[in-house]
Amino acid sequence: MSTLTNAQGEITGDVTLTCNNTYSLNEQVYVQNGARLFIQPGTVIRGQSGTELNSKYLLVMRGGQIFANGNASCPIIFTDANDPLDGSYPVSTRGQWGGLLILGRASNNVLATDDLGIVNGTAVIEGTDDQDSRNYYGVDLDNGETFDDNDNSGILRYVSLRHGGTNIGANNEINGLTLGSVGRGTTLEYIEVIANDDDGVEFFGGTVDLKHSMVAYCNDDYWDWDHGYSGRIQFGYGLQLPSPGSQGDNGMECDGDDNNTSNAPLSDPTVYNMTIIGRGAGDRALELKERTRGSINNSIFANFASGANFNEEAARVGADAYNEWLAGNLEVNNNIFQNCPLIASLNGAALGATQAAAFAADGNTAATVIDATLAIDPNTNVVSDAVNPVPTSGVTTTSLPPVDDFFCGANYKGAFAPGATAWTQGWTLAALQGADGSAVDCPTDINGDGTTDILDFLDLNSNFNQSCAN
């Protein structure tokens, strides 16, 4: 991609990536303020190797825009330079390039004194050079700038991000999709993150919404929010490698301020219809930490040591998640916890009887409603037992999402309608590898041999360049 940028690695005007080319992300590429990057359906971008601050990534700066508008037949793929794109590249291979970072001007609670703070309202995004202002998100509140919660950074639709991530140190990593103060004018839907070396998707403040996202085989949390994030999330599917040594962490890590201040705003997102399958060893489906409010509803969490773990720390400034829950500001309602020995916990220990009864009264139950058993060799991607995250029954609810311009009125718990074909079929790597056995009437059996497998993926991949621009 260096031929499309200036000497500083910047895209400065309108640039289009076409699906009849394969692009090499051989430097840190920045979409400048006022510039627009268009990516056609079916385009493949390959990240070259690089570690820590030398990792290769694509970063959309404040005021820049990306329009990566794929479709189910021709998703846009960001992956490692060595990925043969036939489904065989080991899902245990992580951290081969940086990731996709989008920065905006929506609300956050950053202070200049924070670890990565620059001025009040502005911070450097994790995993990047803190001396380079291109890596800053938010606004300069000290000089009269104001947040723009409707900020528009473009569109990501049917985008797959594979084998990336960089871990520089504690709280300094690049995620599969990193979002810093991104506004609700941005569209994020049908996004997949595979085998990232840190979180799948992380929100650092902002108001952006996310619908139909899948995170699988990553090294840390599936979804993570911090610094006053207040967007909406619906239909998320998480899948982790099953063995205890396969890494991975919490299904959702929910906090508002790592720096232990009391600055506003608190994180306050609204979440509906998640299905997250853990590895069954030590992790939490919901790690509810400091200074977060919001609500998590109508979801299915399977194979975690603890379902919802509330944090409380006496020395912390401001309210912890446990106190926000007791006050009714943080809601965990109407969820199913499958194979979670502790449905709810406080600092890792079982809730007291009164609090446990209150948690149950909020509609949170233990039940088995999906096939959450996965057997896959992470070095060969051979699946011997596929999960099926689509329930057949037992998940209908009358507690519906809000009626607004974002949420769908799903009357069921989890990411998938009972008995229906999952929205992951046909375009995600996990489905095409056969790890997700949720297809109805095998619509992804492209070659008609009765099985959805790597051969179907090869058939699909070989046809990308024939019609993807249409």
Residue 2 pLDDT exceeds 90: no
Q: Residue 50's pLDDT is what?
A: 77
Mean pLDDT to the nearest integer, 33-61: 92
- pLDDT, tens digit, 9 for 90 and up, residues 416-462: 999 999 999 999 998 888 888 775 445 555 554 445 666 666 666 66
308 versus 263: which is more confidently predicted? 308
E-strand ranges in 334-452 read 336-338, 342-346, 349-350, 365-366, 375-376, 383-385
Give the residue from 80, 79, 70, 64 showing the smallest Cα distance to 29: 64
Q: Give the C-alpha separation, 301 to 307, whole Å.
A: 7
Domain ranges of the chain: 269-438
Cis, peptide link before residue 265, omega less than 30° from 0: yes
Query: How high is the mean pLDDT of the chain?
Result: 91
Q: Residue 441's pLDDT is what?
A: 44
- pLDDT, tens digit, 9 for 90 and up, residues 220-257: 999 999 999 999 999 999 999 987 666 678 999 999 88
Pair 152, 183: CB distance under 8 Å: yes
Residue 470 pLDDT exceeds 70: no
Residue 468 pLDDT exceeds 60: no
Mean pLDDT to the nearest integer, 40-60: 90
Q: Residue 359's pLDDT is what?
A: 98
Q: Residue 166's pLDDT is what?
A: 80
442 versus 204: which is more confidently predicted? 204
- pLDDT, tens digit, 9 for 90 and up, residues 155-173: 999 999 999 998 776 667 7
Q: Which two tokens stand for residue 292?
A: 């977060």
Q: Residue 5's pLDDT is what?
A: 86
Residue 254, sorted as left (phi over 0), alpha (psi -120 to 50) or beta, turns out to be beta
* Cα angle 196-202-207, degrees, rounded to a multiple of 5: 150
313 versus 24: which is more confidently predicted? 24
Q: Which two tokens stand for residue 392?
A: 């057949």
pLDDT class of 269 with cuts at 50, 70, 90: very high
* Cα angle 12-16-17, degrees, rounded to a multiple of 5: 120
pLDDT class of 53 with cuts at 50, 70, 90: confident
Q: Residue 258's pLDDT is what?
A: 72
Span of 253-257, 325-329, 398-402 with lowest mean pLDDT = 253-257
Phi, then psi, of 63 in degrees rounded to 5: 90, -15
Q: What is the DSSP string of 278-320?
A: --SSS-EEEEE-BTB-EEEES-EEES-SEEEEE---TT-SS-B
Residue 14 pLDDT exceeds 60: yes
3 state DSSP class of 130: coil
Q: How many CA atoms lie within 13 A of 207 on its CB side?
A: 15
Q: Residue 450's pLDDT is what?
A: 45
Q: Residue 449's pLDDT is what?
A: 46
Q: Give the C-alpha separation, 338 to 370, whole Å.
A: 8
pLDDT class of 286 with cuts at 50, 70, 90: very high
Instruction: State the pTM of this model.
Output: 0.92
Residue 1 pLDDT exceeds 80: no
Q: Residue 262's pLDDT is what?
A: 77
Mean pLDDT to the nearest integer, 188-204: 96
pLDDT class of 467 with cuts at 50, 70, 90: very low
